[in-house]
Amino acid sequence: MAKKPTLTTITSGHASITALNANYVALRDAFDNTLSRDGSSPNTMSADLDLNGNDITNVNTITDATGTDVVAQTLAYKNAAATSATNASNSATASASSATTSSNYAVKVDGAVTGSDYSSKAWAVGGTGITDTASAGAAKEWATETASSVDTSEYSSKEYAVGVQRRGAASGGSAKDWATYTAGTVDNAEYSAKYYAAQAATSATSASNAATTASNNATQSINAFYLGHATSDPSTDANGDALTSGDFYFNTATNVTRFFNEGSSSFVNGAAAGDAFEPAGNSLALAIALG
C-alpha cells in the first residue's frame, strides 16, 4: 500500500494545468512508493515494514541477504528439533529403564532381575531364588545360618563350627561338638575329645583306686604276719587281729627276730644277728614270699 499523496484542489481554470500536473506528479510518486504485486519496478523496500501485530501467511520462501531460504531453514531447524526431542525422549526412557535395572541389580530380593541373574542384595543377605535354593544361598547364610541347610544340601560356616543340626548324624557333627559334646556320639559312631578325655580320667581314677586298694590290701596282708619291731612280744598282729603261727617281729632289746607259735601260744627266737637262719628263719622267708 502506498502512502496517501497530498493533492491540490483545482478551483479556477487559469491555474488548473499547473495544479493538475502537480497532482499527477504526487500520484506518480505515491505509486512509486508502493510494493508491486506483479514484481514490476521499482519494487524494493527502503525502510522497515511494520505489520502492527499481524501475520504473514502462505509464504513460500523468504530469502535473506546471503541467499538463504530462511523458511526452509526454519523448517529444517524445526524438524531437527523434533528429531532431537524424540531422541531425547527415547534416551530418557532408556535411562529410566537403565536406572530401574540398576536399582533392581542393587536391591531386588523378590526374584531374579533378568533371567537367572539376581541382585547384589539377594546374593548378600538372601531373597527369592537364592535363600534355601539348590546351588545358591546368600553370603550371610553361608556365614551364619544355623536353622537349616543353606542350599538344601550344605551348611554354613557357623553350623560347621558350633551348630547342632548334624549332631549324631553319619559324617556329622560341628567342630564344637567334636570338641565338647558328651551326651552321645558326634557322628553316630565316634565321641568328642571331651568325652574321651572324661573316659580317660575315669579310667585313670579307677586305676588309681585299684592301685590304692591293692596297696592297702598288700599292707594289710603284710601287717597280718609282720609285726614290725618292739622291745617285747606283741599280743596282736599289726592289723589288731589275733596272732597266728609264723607271725614275727624284731626284738630291739635282744636284737633277735621272734616268731609266734600257735601251739605254745608264745614267741620263739629265730636266728641271732650274724648267725645262719635256723628253721624258724625259713618260715620268715616263706612268709615274705607268700605275702
- Beta sheet of 266-272, edge-to-edge order: 226-230, 248-251, 256-261, 266-272
278 pLDDT band, cuts 50/70/90, is very low
- Lookup: cell for 273: 644277728
pLDDT at residue 21 tops 60: yes
Please check the confidence at residue 1 and state whether its pLDDT lies above 60: no
In a domain, 57, yes or no: no
Containing structural domain, residue 256: 224-290
Q: Is 43 helix (H, G, I), strand (E, B) or coil?
A: coil
Instruction: Give how far Cα 175 sits from Cα of 69, 145, 162, 180, 291, Å.
Output: 88, 15, 6, 9, 53
Dmax of the chain from CA atoms? 214
Question: Is 215 part of any domain?
Answer: no
Q: Which three cell numbers stand for residue 133?
A: 535354593
Tell me if 176 sits within 8 A of 164, measured CB to CB: no
- The closest alpha carbon to 273, from 254, 260, 246, belongs to 254
Residue 238 lies in a domain: yes
Window from 18-22, 158-162, 167-171, 219-223 with minimum mean pLDDT: 18-22
Asked if residue 198 lies in contact with residue 184, where contact means CB atoms within 8 angstroms, the answer is: no
Helix (H) or strand (E) holding 270: strand 266-272
What is the per-residue pLDDT for 39?
78
pLDDT band of residue 282 (cuts 50, 70, 90) is very low
Does some domain include residue 76? yes
Query: Mean pLDDT over residues 251-264, rounded?
Result: 93
Can you say how many angstroms the Cα of residue 169 is from the centroid of all Cα atoms in its chain?
26
Grid coordinates representing 146? 544355623
pLDDT at 121 over 60: yes
The residues, ordered by sequence, that sit 6+ positions from 131 with a Cβ below 8 Å of its Cβ are: 137, 138, 141
Better-predicted residue by pLDDT, 166 or 15: 166
Under 8 Å between Cβ of 63 and 43: no
pLDDT at 287: 47
Residue 186 lies in a domain: yes
Q: Is residue 217 part of a domain?
A: no
Q: Are 254 and 270 in contact (CB under 8 A)?
A: no
Please report where in the chains the cell 544361598 appears, as a residue. Answer: 137
Residues 6+ positions from 120 with CB-CB distance below 8 Å: 105, 106, 107
Structural domains of the chain, count: 4
Amino acid at 166: R
Q: Is residue 13 part of a domain?
A: yes
Instruction: Pick the last residue of a domain from 178, 195, 212.
Output: 195
Residue 72 contacts residue 80 (beta carbons within 8 Å):
no
Are residues 98 and 142 part of one domain?
A: no
Q: Give yes or no: residues 143 and 176 share one domain.
A: yes
Q: What is the pLDDT of residue 276?
A: 41
DSSP 51-96: -TT----S----B-TTS-BHHHHHHHHHHHHHHHHHHHHHHHHHHH
Per-residue confidence (pLDDT) for residue 281, from 0 to 100: 45
Range list of H helices, the chain: 16-32, 70-107, 120-125, 139-144, 157-162, 175-180, 193-223, 279-290
Residues 83 and 135 in one domain: no
Rounded Cα distance between 227 and 259, Å, is 10
Please report where in the chains the cell 544340601 appears, as a residue.
153
Same-domain status, 128 and 191: yes
The rounded percent of the chain whose pLDDT value lies above 90 is 62
pLDDT top residue among 16 and 267: 267
Question: Quick check: 159 and 139 in contact, CB under 8 A?
Answer: no
**Is 48 among the domain residues?**
no
* pLDDT mean across residues, the chain: 86
Counting residues of the chain whose pLDDT is more than 70, the rounded percentage is 90
Distance separating alpha carbons of residues 268 and 277, to the nearest angstrom: 13
- pLDDT tens across 28-84, in order? 777 777 777 787 777 777 788 888 999 989 988 889 889 999 989 988 999 999 999
Segment 185-212, tens digit of pLDDT: 999 999 999 999 999 999 999 999 999 9
Predicted TM-score (pTM) of the model is: 0.52
pLDDT of residue 40: 79
pLDDT at residue 219 tops 50: yes
